[in-house]
């Protein structure tokens, strides 16, 4: 399987999870999805990560986004491990964890890197849009926990990108000003958007669109 690139269709799959058997595309529906892998159950970094994702339940919902975790461990291990995650995080794990024992999902999404120490997945993240396209991918080593605040920030940026001819500047956060695409003239930008500021002919800021 070739590495997925931005703009590719996210591969579909059917798998057993802690929330029952699901078909990925059907489960995702017409919203956004975060698909992320973790190397193994009952491991320290993964326990903190899956707990953090659970704590962000309301943030995912606010963005019309579902989250799905993947591990090559079995369903019994997942169910037993959930209680540890919930104890550490202080919140229930309400999203599905895929039991990918045959490595179908890991191989579809190129989550196993042979040079990374063993045959478990690295810490992959895919943001998938309502059309089923891969819009962002991140890969972390097994030893470094992910920053899910950054993943939320990137999701916000992608949703603003889709709201109009906008991109986002460095370190952008919700509520800050956006960049008007070069395909829009300054005259048109001033007619269409609020607070247009020309810093350079190719760098024009505007107020972010309201939700």
Question: What positions carry a catalytic annotation?
Answer: 46
The total of other beta-carbon atoms located within 10 Å of residue 115's CB is 5
Which is nearest to 4 in space by CA: 35, 32, 26? 35
* C-alpha to C-alpha distance for 165 and 145, rounded to whole angstroms: 34
Structure tokens at 53: 């994702």
Compute and round to an integer the Cα radius of gyration of the chain.
Answer: 19
* C-alpha to C-alpha distance for 138 and 127, rounded to whole angstroms: 9
């Amino acid at each position: 399987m070739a590495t997925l690139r931005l703009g590719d269709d996210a591969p579909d799959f059917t798998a057993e999870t802690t929330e029952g058997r699901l078909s990925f595309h059907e489960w995702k529906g017409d919203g956004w999805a975060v698909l992320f892998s973790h190397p193994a159950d009952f491991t320290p970094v993964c326990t903190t990560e899956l707990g953090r994702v659970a704590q962000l339940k309301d943030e995912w919902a606010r963005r019309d986004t579902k989250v799905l975790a993947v591990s090559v461990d079995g369903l019994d291990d997942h169910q037993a491990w959930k209680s540890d995650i919930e104890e550490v995080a202080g919140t229930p794990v309400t999203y599905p964890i895929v039991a990918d024992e045959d490595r179908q999902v890991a191989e579809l999404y190129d989550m196993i890197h042979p040079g990374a120490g063993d045959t478990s997945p690295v810490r992959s993240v895919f943001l998938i849009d309502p059309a089923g396209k891969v819009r962002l991918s991140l890969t972390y080593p097994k030893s470094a926990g992910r920053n899910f605040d950054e993943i939320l920030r990137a999701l916000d940026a992608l949703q603003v990108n889709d709201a109009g001819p906008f991109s986002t500047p460095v370190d952008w956060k919700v509520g800050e000003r956006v960049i008007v695409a070069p395909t829009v003239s300054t005259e048109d930008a001033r007619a269409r958007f609020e607070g247009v500021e020309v810093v350079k002919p190719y760098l024009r800021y505007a107020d972010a669109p309201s939700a």
